[in-house]
Amino acid sequence: MEKKHSNRELQPKLNTIFLVFLFALLILCVRLIHLQVHLSKKLYNQGQKNFLRINKIQPTRGNIVDINGKLLATNKPIHNLYWNGNGKKTLSESDLENLYLLEKILSPNSQEPTTNSDNCLVSQNQYPINTSDTNKTKNILENTKNLSKWEESQRCGIKITSPENLEKIKAANKYNKKFLLKSEVTFDQLSKIEEQFGKNSSISIETSFKRFYPYQSFASHTLGFLGRMDVSNMGKMGLEKLLEESLKGKDGAVAVKINSFGTKLSETIVENSLSGKHIKINLDIELQEIVENAFPKDSSGCFILMDPCNGAILSLLSRPNFDPNIFLSPISKSEWDELQENNPFLNRAFGEAYPPASIFKLVTMSLALETNIIKQNDTCHCCGYMNFGNRKYYCHNHNGHGLLTAGQALEQSCNVFFYKIARKFDIDQLANYANRFGFGEKTNIIFPEKLGNIPTKAWKKKNIGERWYAGENLSAAIGQGFITVTPMQAARMASSIFTGYLVNPRILEQEPIIKSPLNISEPTLKFLRNSMQKVVTQGTARGINRKKDFEIYAKTGTAQTSDLSKKDLGEKKYREHKWFIGTFKYKNNRPITFVILVEHAESPSVTKEAINYLLTGYKRLMDSKETPEKSCELIISEYKSIYDEESSYLELENKIDTESNCSENSLI
């Protein structure tokens, strides 16, 4: 009886234990289901991360080449020195010894420790006075006093064993990570490291690529630059920015297996990287070099060479410029401040607009001839000024030009002749003809550009709140007042006078040739070309050397930047801008349109000297090549390779006929 009684007392306890066990088993099952069904993918990925690392494979950035295939922007290999962690918490005596030895190898001027020490001590204001050789002390202090702290830190060597770096190396060692000791190891340093540490697993050399601009500042505004050394970084300006998607390529991926200590066991390429596309542009670096040397030193402005037939930009300079290579490494504050002084990142060829001055007289003359305000053989007497209203409007020749024909008025750039024309037209008429020549409109170059300003009655009312006064016609007729244009627009106008059509400027070789009608009669264009030719032989550009086998068509301009009363103050900001535009052809070579603008020019002849240099350099270059004219068959075959195979042969033939006529028959 007692035993039965005891069993009855135990049964509730056993039931409780069973229920608890059953409940725990249920929870465990629910948890297992949750892990297996709901969290399986997440846990799998976490597990993979414990032994698998996915690293990025950097693609090679595409090259930028000129029309002849010469490298303008490319990549060069650089060697970087790394410390490889081994999982140990501390650095051994052998490790420290190796690091000190590396520091010695990597320190610049290690073969001249005295010189290196001098620089370091000066930077720390601790250089001792050498009483036995005071001249040496003075020279060292003078040579280094203007160096920034950043520059001096580079001269003082690589401080691998500084306390801060040693702590980082220890951390990398502990967690099996890599630590960059030095980027861009030189060949001599690399040789010494390979010789002394070739079998040391803690030290490795890895190769990467750095962007490189072989011609330094040449065409810097066109090419642009990257933001830092790594070629995978985005372009910050110019073609490097504009064509970022094409140039950068596509990243690849590599799967690296590691053990519990972080040691690499194997690696497998998951996805190959795709190199960036190579870009060919119409720039000719040989012509660019001539232009760079022709432009007046220490002046601001721009210089453009363009093929008037197809719009290819053969050379494009904007000053001040910069060396894009300097942005691939850290630069000091003083260097950055110096760069900012004259706004070197502004592309003055199409990013700024200027008063066109007398080059705009080509537009005014077109209006006058096309609307029968004057005839080609009409004459005008210039006495040096013209009275209009209650003031005198002066010619640049205060003594007067005397009796002039319309052609001579362009040759001598007589203001009075154009003042008299201005009394007979409406400003909206002038704006219409300016638009025909592409002023006040986009040139459709691939870069962002300014439009300039071609005023109308409505424009003045809207922007200034005043009506248009008749006297303002006189300023507009000679390219002053409210009128502004970009040098690229001026190049387009000069080309159109030569060819009879407007063509869009083309930076990239692959850009289509886009032409639009000029809507100016051929007799007027022929008159303009005749007058522009005489500008060089007997007009305002007669300082240009007359060279054999050249045909030159040009127009000069001097743009006021302030009241004439301030011109004599001598300050640079009050000086005039100088223009020189036109087209030349040498022997049987293609014609070339040129535009040079010099801001606040010191000398009246500065643009003429630059064009003289250009013509001399171009003649020397072409004579050295002595390349015969391409046959039509050869040109057609080249176009076939550019255009889609679906393009009809007839279309190609018509295109070549047009360009051949431009090259051979456009000159007078």
Q: What angle do CA 8, 11, 15 make, to 5 degrees?
A: 160
Number of H helices, E strands in the chain: 25, 21
616 class by beta-carbon count within 10 Å (0-12 exposed, 13-18 middle, 19+ buried): middle
Structure-block tokens of residue 178: 């890599």
d(CA 357, CA 361) in angstroms, rounded, equals 8
Instruction: Please report the pLDDT score of residue 44 as a whole number.
Output: 61
What span, in angstroms and rounded, lies between the C-alpha atoms of 210 and 554?
Answer: 44
DSSP state of 136: H
* Closest to 484 measured CA to CA, from 362, 354, 597: 354
Q: Which two tokens stand for residue 265?
A: 């066991």
Largest separation between any pair of C-alpha atoms in the chain: 151
Torsion of CA 135, 137, 138, 141, to 10 degrees: 160
Say which residues have a Cβ less than 8 Å from residue 24's Cβ, sequence separation at least 6.
Answer: none
Size of the chain, expressed as the number of residues it contains: 668
Tokens of 5: 């009684």
The Cα–Cα gap between 619 and 551 comes to 12
Evaluate if pTM is beyond 0.85: no
**SS3 assignment, position 337:** helix
Whether domain 348-609 has CATH 3.30.470.20: no
- With tokens 């720039």, the residue in question is 283
CA-based nearest residue to 103, from 205, 196, 181: 181
Distance, in Å, from the CA atom of 579 to the CA atom of 358, rounded to the nearest integer, reads: 8
For the stretch 522-556, what's the b/e string if a residue is b when 16 or more beta carbons lie within 10 angstroms of its beta carbon? eebbebbbebbbbbbeebbbeebeeeeebebbbbb
Q: Which residues contact 571 (CB under 8 A, 6 or more apart)?
A: none
Write out residues in the chain with pLDDT < 70, as ranges.
1-9, 35, 38-53, 108-159, 161, 228-234, 258-264, 330, 545, 562-571, 627-668
pLDDT at res. 283: 97
Mean pLDDT for all residues in the chain: 80
Choosing among 3.90.1310.10, 3.40.50.300, 3.30.930.10, 3.90.1150.10, the CATH entry for 54-107+158-280 is 3.90.1310.10
